[in-house]
Amino acid sequence: MTPREPSARALITGATGGIGAAFARALPEETAMILTGRDEEALTLLAAEFGPRAETVVADLATHEGLDAVARAAEAGEVDLLINNAGLGQYGNFLDVPFEEHQTTLRVNVEAVMALIHRLVPGMIDRAELSGRNAGLINVASSAAFFPIPTLATYAASKALVLSFTESFAAEMSGKPIDVLVSCPGAVKTAFGARAGYSGGRIPGAMAPEKVAAQSLAALGRQSTVVIGPASAAAFAPVALARSLFGHAFVRASRVMDRIGERT
């Protein structure tokens, strides 16, 4: 298969660290970038690595104003690669977490993803038809999309929606000049757990975000779904068995890690 041509300009959401920053560093040197996130200092530091080929948009995708600012920058920059990486979640039993925090998770993980696609992809396709090279879309979901995750119920459900939506959208875009991929990594060494309120530290066996970015970019244009990490086999196990085993295992692991965190 012919390798996918580098994009001219990419938009990366959630670029302040972790997988988002890894995507920025993994893109070819000829790719210009729009990096967006809430942390202005972190964005500025990351953009400095790339010089004039990177611009930043400080914005909160949970707000209409932030979402519009990002979309306007992408339209002005005529991006041809959209990487929806921003995501969040709150650790804890569903009823113990304020409902407003669940709403924020859904706005960022689901609504912002769909809104940016709906607004930006038509222009991306038009430009791709004129240029003769495919546009690209990567939605970062999670291996949690395949399982119920007690204490991360809303996060897991939101990623399940991203997985299902992206696979459906990829089928709708068949024949169009755009490559569509949903990336489903397992545990990754990022600050997600700490931000989510998980006190047990990093999950053993968590992979480097650079691995997720590299494998996702390599899969774009070759398949519509990529599962990265040790969860890949479990994701395709018989659904009922996998869900039951994974859900109970996660609860037990969470309790153990919480007890360890309390003692440190």
Residues carrying an active site annotation = 155
Distance CA 172, CA 151 (A): 34
Strand partners, 207: 188
Strand partners, 138: 83, 181
Spell out the SS3 assignment of 31-86: CEEEEEECCHHHHHHHHHCCHHHEEEEECCCCCHHHHHHHHHHHHHHCCCEEEECC
- Cα angle: 185, vertex 146, 235; to 5 degrees: 70
User: Could you identify the residue written with the tokens 């990336």?
Assistant: 183
Tokens of 111: 């609504």
8 A C-beta contact, residue 175 and residue 263: no
Residue 173, sorted as left (phi over 0), alpha (psi -120 to 50) or beta, turns out to be alpha
Tokens of 209: 């975000």
Beta strand extents in the chain (DSSP E only): 9-13, 32-37, 54-58, 81-84, 135-140, 178-185, 225-228
